[in-house]
Amino acid sequence: MHSLLRALLAGPIASSLFLSFAAEAKDQPTTVVIRNVTVIDMKADQPQPGLTVVTRGNRIATIGRDAKTPEHAQVIDGTGKFLIPGLWDNYTFTLEAHKNQLPYFDLLVAHGVTGVRDAGTSLGLPAAARLRADIEAGRTLGPRLFFAGPVLLTDLPPRPSNRWTGISTVVTSAEEARKAVATLASAGVNHIKTEKRTPPDILKQIISEAHKHKLPVVGVPPAYIADVSNDDLDCIEHFVEIHRATSNKRDEYYALYRDRTIDNMSMDQNYAFFDTMETDQPYYEEALRTLARNKTFVCTNAALLATFIGDYELADVTRRRFKTKAEIAALEKAIGERDRQKRNADYRGSAKSREKTFRNIADLQKAGVPLLTGTQLSQQSVGTPGAVLHDELQIFVAAG
């Protein structure tokens, strides 16, 4: 109960709370009272209406219907509004957007996102560390920041992607990998990020060195998910890997990357191949048991994938007010591409892909695999910061 409920699904209260906490970091602790608000307690079955929440500094002092208002407190009327726990987006490329002066931090905070995990950036490590400190101290308004610095991989794919282009460090040997991790650790990163183009033997060295520095390693696995889990990878990124890596075509799938055949395939060809994949049920169940036993986290990023983006980001015209002209043009292009896929009965928008995602989320949760919500939000994506995390959470609810 003493962890801070810092975000509210109503702009004025969210802004007032966050600004109060930022001011508290620089001055004396601020007391904020939110009266008559409906609290969403994640341990309760139902919303709890009519509560008063008293916070002092960055801690909750009192929650109750009869909580008293301290003298000189800032009072906020919560009538008709909901107070929720601060949200986390665990898979973003927010620092690149911030570096390029896009208002991602403002939009994330406005949507109740109080923490982000950044998965790769070209921003200098000292600058990233200063920004993190400025946010913690209240000098910069933004979500709590955990960053990886540059992504580690063995060679750069020719196809541009927000997952690696311009934000990577190439390591071609175990020694280079260990040195890169040590350098990142000394610069104060919060975790290490790897990509699929990192062979299993080098990934093992990255994990070993990172764990010496007490840093978790997250990544898109280059090999079977049960194997990387047994090798102590801390979190699997890129949620579609769960289905692809447990399918009857998993050997062919990994061969595409190992032999670099994937580099000469179009996106339509990629997804035509993915459409042929069916779950290898015994292997799938064993893989999930392995992830659960090893406490390997899995981070989702379904909302911005073609399967769901048409339901949320592309359909919600109210989000356009947050976008630049260039971003609206990119959105229109994405709508056109989505329409083309629908005309072609593309796998990306199919009921099969949708049901597979729902099933994977539900099965992972049932198996006891720890799940994180993420979005793969970046300046190259068409997603609205913060809003796409709400979409991701809706997908969790739809999955049961």
**Tokens found for residue 49:** 């209406």
Domain coverage including residue 252:
87-398
pLDDT at position 44 is 85
Say if residues 233 and 271 touch (Cβ distance below 8 Å).
Answer: no
pLDDT at position 170 is 96
Instruction: State which of 35, 64, 84 marks the end of a domain.
Output: 84
- What is the pTM assigned to this prediction? 0.88
Instruction: For residues 219 and 189, state if they share a domain.
Output: yes
Helix, strand, coil percent content, the chain, rounded in steps of 5: 45, 20, 40
**Tokens found for residue 87:** 């949200």
**Rounded CA separation 99/119 (Å):** 14
Low-confidence ranges of the chain (pLDDT < 50): 1-16, 19-21, 23-24
pLDDT at position 358 is 98
Instruction: Report how many domains make up the chain.
Output: 2
Instruction: For residues 27 and 153, state if they share a domain.
Output: no
pLDDT at position 136 is 93
**Rounded CA separation 5/28 (Å):** 20
Contacts (Cβ under 8 Å, ≥6 apart) of 206: 152, 171, 177, 178, 180, 181, 192, 194, 198, 217
b/e map 255-284, b = 16+ CB within 10 Å: ebbeeeebeeeeeeeebebbeebebbeebb
Instruction: For residues 124 and 75, state if they share a domain.
Output: no
Instruction: For residues 67 and 122, state if they share a domain.
Output: no
> Is residue 2 included in any domain, yes or no?
no
pLDDT at position 6 is 34
pLDDT at position 29 is 67
pLDDT at position 391 is 98
* Coil, helix or strand at residue 299: strand
* Coil, helix or strand at residue 332: helix
**Tokens found for residue 351:** 């009921």
